[in-house]
Homo-oligomer: A and B are copies of this chain.
Amino acid sequence: MPREVTEQGEHERERIVHEIQTLNGSMEEAVLTALLQNLLSMDLTIQQLKVLMILVTTEEGATGRSLSASFGVSMASMSGLLDRLVGQGVATRSTDPHDHRVRRVHATPLGTSVVRRLAVARPFRRDILMGLRMEDLRALEQGFRAVSEQISLMGERD
């Protein structure tokens, strides 16, 4: 690859990346408003939300031991917190088939939906997308597909 072309390409890339991030930032207010609406309608404490988010992303079910360890609190505290999550209908406890001392804690469908509402990138709502010109829509699809692939390539680290 000729050097000149590469350098020129990198300049162009920098410009576009910057542009996309600026655009992304300008959508922020809409995103913030939606996030606020979701938070306002929720009745969970921050700690409960944190634990619930872990439950949602833990397919096999988290254990009380692992949760208390990763949050740096006693088993007793975590037990009480889980009681409250179960009481609100966003989590369930079941006995681990391989070790009857262990309880596996899962998010319920309700719990999953509560958390997902917070996480979805909201600018790309159906009604907004439906209003786009076809060529813009196709371009967006191509871009999304590429970002999606890139994320799986990169192992999703932060």
Report A's interface with B, CB cutoff 8 A.
Answer: 9, 12-13, 16-17, 19-21, 23-37, 39-40, 42, 44-46, 49-50, 53-54, 56-57, 115-116, 118-124, 126-148, 150-151, 153-154, 156, 158
Given A39-B46, A50-B36; A154-B131 close (CB under 8 Å): yes
Task: Kindly state the separation between the CA atoms of A39 and B119 in the bound complex, as whole angstroms.
Answer: 12
Given the complex, which residues of B lie within 8 Å of A31, measured CB to CB?
119-121
B115-A32 in contact (CB<8A): yes
A141-B143 in contact (CB<8A): yes
Main DSSP-derived SS at the A contact region: helix
Q: Chain B's nearest CB lies how many Å from the CB of A20?
A: 5
Task: Kindly state the separation between the CA atoms of A49 and B40 in the bound complex, as whole angstroms.
Answer: 10
A132-B158 in contact (CB<8A): no
A27-B139 in contact (CB<8A): no
Given the complex, which residues of B lie within 8 Å of A129, measured CB to CB?
16-17, 20-21, 147
B30-A151 in contact (CB<8A): yes
B138-A153 in contact (CB<8A): no
Task: Kindly state the separation between the CA atoms of A54 and B116 in the bound complex, as whole angstroms.
Answer: 22
Give 19 new A-B contacts, CB below 8 A, not counting A27-B148, A39-B49, A131-B154: A13-B130, A13-B137, A17-B130, A20-B129, A23-B144, A28-B119, A31-B119, A32-B115, A35-B53, A36-B53, A36-B54, A36-B57, A39-B50, A132-B146, A135-B142, A136-B142, A136-B145, A136-B147, A139-B146
